Amino acid sequence: DGGITQSPKYLFRKEGQNVTLSCEQNLNHDAMYWYRQDPGQGLRLIYYSQIVNDFQKGDIAEGYSVSREKKESFPLTVTSAQKNPTAFYLCASSSDGGYGYTFGSGTRLTVV
């Protein structure tokens, strides 16, 4: 079945650590996105990529980095520069620019 796979489902980060969240899709979608979801704030765009080897910052890119070396994969690294990383992270993809995103099941990141 086609879809988006995010791993791990739960992730714990110590202070000062970088962690990488995985996102893989087999939908042959060109565009991929990373969102952060916090209670009461909705989805906020971190980074997006419309094509391999190219990506753009979203609204809250500080403290995050991404790569897009393959069409299927769009990993997100949460660096130690991100001061408040505890959140639910969602990866999405689309073939038509945004009318219908397919989301993964999310990764819940907690700072310990």
Partner 1 sequence: QKEVEQDPGPLSVPEGAIVSLNCTYSNSAFQYFMWYRQYSRKGPELLMYTYSSGNKEDGRFTAQVDKSSKYISLFIRDSQPSDSATYLCAMTGGGYQKVTFGTGTKLQVIP
- Residues of this chain that interact with partner 1 (CB under 8 A) are 4, 6, 31, 40-43, 45, 50, 58, 90, 92, 97-106, 108
Give me the least distance between CB of 78 and partner 1, in Å please.
Answer: 18
CA distance 106 to 7: 8
CA 26 to centroid of chain Cα atoms: 16
Give me the least distance between CB of 9 and partner 1, in Å please.
Answer: 9
Give me the least distance between CB of 42 and partner 1, in Å please.
Answer: 4
Cα–Cα nearest to 56, from 91, 39, 23, 32: 32
Give the nearer residue to partner 1 in terms of CB position, either 59 or 69: 59
Contacts of 83 (CB under 8 A, 6+ apart): 63
Give the nearer residue to partner 1 in terms of CB position, either 43 or 111: 43
CA 76 to centroid of chain Cα atoms: 5
Give the nearer residue to partner 1 in terms of CB position, either 71 or 79: 71
